Homo-oligomer: A and B are copies of this chain.
Amino acid sequence: MRRIRLVVAYDGTNYCGWQIQPNGITVEEVLNRTICKMTGEAIAVIGASRTDSGVHAMGNVAVFDTESTIPPERFSYALNQRLPDDIVIVSSDEVPADWHPRYRNCEKTYEYHILNTRIPVPTKRLTNYFVSFPLDEKKMQQAAEYLKGEHDFVSFCNVRTDVEDTVRTITALDVLRNGEEITVRITGNGFLYNMVRIIVGTLIRVGRGFYEPEQVREILEAKNRKAAGVTAPPQGLMLVRIDYGEGREASEGTD
């Protein structure tokens, strides 16, 4: 029995997120079905990040156990022949039998894409959040500075019963403008439910001038979800990379 690790990219538009659920097709389900067909085994992948419906990935990570004799690096190629166009295996390799994509130290990097134009651009509607009001990215960056480091991010978490500890560390948070496109790039050691999208929703309120950058510190201190901005919509979010700090990044080759 070998444990195979996959780095998985997908367009989340047509999926009800990563995790299997009764009311719609998910990325996890398509992966399971495709690997089962290929190996003839009953396989259930374990994913690193359970992205929401409509959220995209360049480098989610999943593992599965197999008796198959297919060389580990060949799984990516063989699976890509069989997967739909909107799911791509970026790479595959073998990891130790106890290597678990969730219960390990790692850093996740997300990007959130905002299109800041007067008129929406149809071809970007499924990968960007369209904001027609002018956004001041410098103020957004000033606000972002307050979020860096270790904090209790309970103000930036939508209610879920299964989380006890709401302290997380953000190691990088940058707001970058390239013409009409604003990218919020965030790296941290783990994120609460909807945390990235609530941070972005809050930064957008700063960018529009509704909040002063300094207020973000007060929002953190309030420890109350109602203090922060709305949850930004899912289509702007992309899980770029998960780095397990093993010398070799799990998502090597995605850039």
Contacts and interface: CB of A to CB of B under 8 A. Distances in A.
Given A9-B119, A119-B9, A125 B86 contact: yes
A202 interface: no
Query: How many identical chains are in the complex?
Result: 2
Nearest to A122: B11
Contact of A238 (B9, B90, B123): B123
Interface string A118-139: 1111110111000000000000
A205 interface: no
**Chain A interface residue count: which class?**
20 to 34
A9 B121 contact: yes
A122 B253 contact: no
Interface of A: 9-11, 56, 58, 85-88, 90-91, 118-123, 125-127, 238, 253-254
Given A56-B122, A85-B122, A87-B122, 14 more contacts: A9-B119, A10-B122, A11-B122, A11-B125, A56-B123, A85-B125, A86-B122, A86-B125, A88-B120, A88-B121, A88-B122, A118-B253, A119-B253, A119-B254
